[in-house]
Amino acid sequence: MGAGHAHRLYRQGHSPVHALPPHTKLTAVFCFVVVVVSTPREAMWAFAAYALLLASVAYAAHVPPLFWLKRLLIEVPFVAFALLLPFVAEGERTEVLGMSLSVHGLWGAWNVLAKGTLGVAASVLLAATTDLRELLLGLQRLKLPPLLVQIASFMIRYGDVVTDEMRRMKIARESRGFEARGVRQWGVLAKSAGALFIRSYERGERVHLAMVSRGYAGSMPVIDEATATRAQWTYALTLPLTALAVCLLGWTLS
């Protein structure tokens, strides 16, 4: 609990993108992804334009390209799936490098790959430039139900604690000679999971009591009000609006 709750994807910085209020960033990323998803897949140049837009945001946010590309690796299992599509899809077939591939499947794979990658890239940029606490504040400003925001904040706050507890259990198991080799060890692992649940739940009860003793009555006090000026909104919404222009061009040209 003592350590800062910075998540692994966050990258400390003082760029103009870091300084934007969180709810404007959330809105911008969400609108951008919606625009990307509704672009026709035949307009290949539009996706290149989106990638350029994101790259310019990354440049403005001082996010090094290598850092950014490494974070994209989360997509890998899904890329494998997309690469499978041309082989299993229906419809007319075409010859590529001596393999018979489905035209529809190729288009589908391209569609899923391009849109999925852009979506992941946008989310990674958001996560890299927004602190955890800011993110929760932004969700609150976007009128997410307060209870949901509270649950999310408790999850974030205690996620590390619970994970650490699990790690200590693992060390305890291993120091007693336990080695998970196969199905026969599931019983022990499941008992650890059960113990972890009890500890988490009891910790929740203690946290609630501690909060009640400090005057908690169902809602958290708002300490720092994050407001955005018109200029900040305009700055943040430049990304989705430019993307929208590209998207409309894509629809008219194709």
Q: List the interface residues with another protein, window 50-69 (CB under 8 A).
A: none
Candidate list 51, 101, 142, 189; residue touching another protein; CB under 8 A: 189
Q: For another protein, which stretch binds (CB under 8 A), given 13-21, 55-63, 211-219, 234-242? A: 211-219
Q: Compare residues 76 and 231 and give the one whose CB is closer to another protein.
A: 76
Quote the CA–CA distance of 26 and 136 in Å, as a whole number: 10
Is the CB of residue 33 less than 8 Å from the CB of residue 115? no
Q: Which of residues 14-53 bind another protein (CB under 8 A)?
A: 29-30, 33-34, 36-38, 41
Is the CB of residue 7 less than 8 Å from the CB of residue 127? yes
Q: Which of residues 190-209 bind another protein (CB under 8 A)?
A: 190-198, 200-201, 203-205, 207-208
Q: Is 237 in the site for another protein (CB under 8 A)?
A: no
Handedness of CA 75, 80, 85, 88 (dihedral sign): negative
The residues facing 241 across adjacent strands are: none
Helices and strands in the chain, H and E counts? 10, 2
Q: How far is CA 226 from CA 29, 95, 131, 147, 239, in A?
A: 18, 56, 13, 19, 21
Q: How far is the CB of 3 from another protein (least distance, A)?
A: 16
Quote the CA–CA distance of 217 and 240 in Å, as a whole number: 39
Q: For another protein, which stretch binds (CB under 8 A), given 53-61, 103-111, 225-233, 234-242? A: 103-111
Candidate list 116, 142, 233, 249; residue touching another protein; CB under 8 A: 116
Q: How far is the CB of 229 from another protein (least distance, A)?
A: 24
Q: How far is the CB of 113 from another protein (least distance, A)?
A: 8
142: which DSSP letter?
Answer: T
Q: Which of residues 131-160 bind another protein (CB under 8 A)?
A: 132, 135, 145, 147-148, 150-159
